[in-house]
Structures are given as C-alpha cells and as structure tokens.
Structure 1
Amino acid sequence: MKRYLKIKSTVSIVILITTISCSTQPKSIDYGSDSCHYCKMTIVDKIHAAELVTKKGKVFKFDAAECMVNHINEIDKNTIDKLLTNHHDTPEELIPVTSSTFLISQQLPSPMGAFLTAFDDRSSAEQVWKNVGGDLYSWEELQDHLKK
C-alpha cells in the first residue's frame, strides 16, 4: 500500500510539473530590461512590442512587430501557438495579431523604422489614419507587404 501511494504521488508530481512547464501563456514584457529576440535591442517602446509563444510554451519577445515578422520567416510556422502585439490605444496590452489592424504611417515612428503601429480594431486604426495618413493592413496583408 505504501508503495502504491508513493508511485501515485510521484506520478502526480510529474503531471503537475509537465502541465506547468508547457503553459502557452504570454509573459509580460519587462520594458527597459527585456531584449528583442530578433535584433537584440532593449525593448522600451510600450506601443510597438510583440510576442510569440510556441506550442511548447517558449516565449520570444520583440521590440517591434516587424522583428517578429522577420523571425517568423526564419522558423517552422507549425511551432507557433500565439502571436501577439502591443497596440496604440492601450500601451503594454498584448492582443492577437490576427484580429489587429496595422497602420504604416511616416507620422508614427516605430523602434525599427518601419513606421508600423498596431490597433485593436479597424475603426480605431481608421480614426488615427484620418489624421496621419498611411496604409492600413490586416495581419496577412502586412506579412505580404513586409516580404517585398
């Protein structure tokens, strides 16, 4: 009986550790301390940062969405679980890139010089676009545009 309880406890601990270690949750960015995985610059801009989480739970942080796009072009896309970006209206908040609208405008500088800013929805992006001009993109369109 003691042996059974010992085995059961060991199995429970292994399951718990496995569950915790494979979490695919994003991690908060420590602005001013964390470095961009792609370009190695320190992440300081709270509007333009981005994050990639793999299916195994590894988190890659980027100082700009364009660094994340460049990194994605170099890896197996099947390993990706989540792609997130900060956005213009609520700095530091990470949102899914697939539901974001991106604005490239010379009037809105970004850390890597692509003048790329994300917005939570199209209407927010259009409001800013009316004042600063530029071009609006969905995530899929943005990836195609940055490959050119």
Structure 2
Amino acid sequence: MKKQAWSVLAVLFVIAMLSGCGQAKYQAIPIDEETDKCEICNMQVKDDAFAVQLTTKEGKTFKFDDLGCMNEWKRKNGTANIGAQFVRDYNNKEWIPYEDASYVYDPSFKSPMAYGIYAFKDKAEAQKFIDGQKKGKLMSAAELGTHSWERGKGSMDMGGNHDKNAHSESGGSMGAGDKGMHGK
C-alpha cells in the first residue's frame, strides 16, 4: 500500500512539474538608471512612475521612459511576440501588468515625452486622481489600443527627471511648436 501511495505521489509530482513547464513566467525587471535607455527615443529611463517595459516571448526586455514610447515600439514591431507588458503605478511606482492597470489621460499632464498618460493600480485610484486634478479621462488598457497617442504641446516632464538637452537636437528644451524626437 505504501509503495502504491509513493508511486501516485511521484506521478502527481511529475505531472505538476510538466504542467509548469512551457508556461512563461514574466516579471518586471528593475530599472538601472546608469545603463537603461528608452528603446525608442534613447533617453535615460528613470526609476520613476513613468518607466514602462515589455518582454518578448523569447525573454528580451525593452524599457521605455514613457508609455507613448512603448506604444510606438508596438506600432513599429507588432504585438504578436509580446509576452508581457508592465507599467508603474503613478502613486507608489509598483510594477503592475499593463492589462490590469487603469490609465488617466490629459494632454496637459506632464510626462517624459509629453504623451500625458499616467498608470494606476486600480480604477478607484485613477478616479481619485481625476477628481483631485479636476481633469483627465479614465481609460483601460483596451481603450489605449484606440487612443490617438498625440503628444501634448509643452508638457514634457523636464523637472530634473530627464536630461534636458536630449529633448531636442538643438540642445534646448522643446517649445510648443516643436515635434521632438518622435516627429508627430
């Protein structure tokens, strides 16, 4: 009887091990401000609420300084090979899956590349932010798929969070009429 019980346990263990294999487990990778550069605009990726990243099914991770840059990467490279996407909660910088987050957009919100979108861990926190700011549009990850992704004029976060000289080729900060590195 004991031998049969051990055999059953061994079979269950093997099944459990095999069922775990082949299912990729993706995790957000910490930001290294010394070396991480945005895959699209080549700006330094700060360890802040705007940092986002995606990992391909092959395990290659791409980091971005703004959610709009990650969207531009997806537009250029497609989404079929993406294994996971992560955004940071605006309030506490906690990594959260892109699909689980709630987003707030307003063209006047400052962000590294002026896309004006902030991520929140849940809808209630996002709505609380909108109520406090008295502006902003609540969006889901699915709604970001149809978002226009226009950049706000003059609303780049230049308050010491990013290299001021990298926002334009002339070395100055962007003016309201400049199109910046993404050419929109």
TM value normalised by structure 1:
0.77
- Cα distance per residue 1:54-102 (max 9 Å; x no partner): 11100000001111011111113221000111111212x2111111111
CA RMSD of aligned residues (A): 2.1
Alignment of 1:1-148 (within 5 A): 24-44=26-46, 46-91=48-93, 93-106=94-107, 108-132=109-133, 133-146=135-148
Q: Which runs of 4+ in 1 moved over 2 A?
A: 22-26, 105-108
Bigger radius of gyration, 1 or 2?
Answer: 2
- Alpha-carbon separation, structure 2, partners of 1:145 and 1:45: 25
1:32/1:44 contact within 8 Å kept: no
Deviation at 1:51, TM superposition (A): 0.4
Matches of 2:62 and 2:40 in 1, distance apart?
A: 9
Cα offsets for 1:17-40 (capped at 9, x unmatched): xx9xx8743321113531001111
SS of structure 2 residue aligned to 1:71: helix
Deviations 1:85-127 (A, max 9, x none): 1111212x21111111111135631101111100000000000
Contact in 1 for aligned 2:68/2:149 (Cα 8 Å): no
Amino acid paired to 1:58: K
Q: TM-score normalized by structure 2?
A: 0.63
- Partner letter of residue 39 of structure 1? C
Counterpart AA for 1:72: K
SS in 1 for 2:41: coil
SS at match of 2:129: helix
Instruction: Give the secondary structure class of the aligned counterpart of 2:50.
Output: coil
Letter in 1 for 2:89: H
3-state SS, counterpart of residue 146 of structure 1: coil
Q: Alignment identity in percent?
A: 29
Hey, which of these two has a bigger chunk of helix by percent? 1
Please tell me whether the aligned partners of residues 52 and 70 of structure 2 are also in contact (alpha carbons under 8 angstroms): yes
Q: Unaligned 5+ residue runs, structure 2?
A: 1-20, 151-184
Map of 1:13 onto structure 2: none
Structure 1 stretch displaced more, 27-36 or 127-136: 27-36
Larger RCO (CA under 8 A, 6+ residues apart): 1
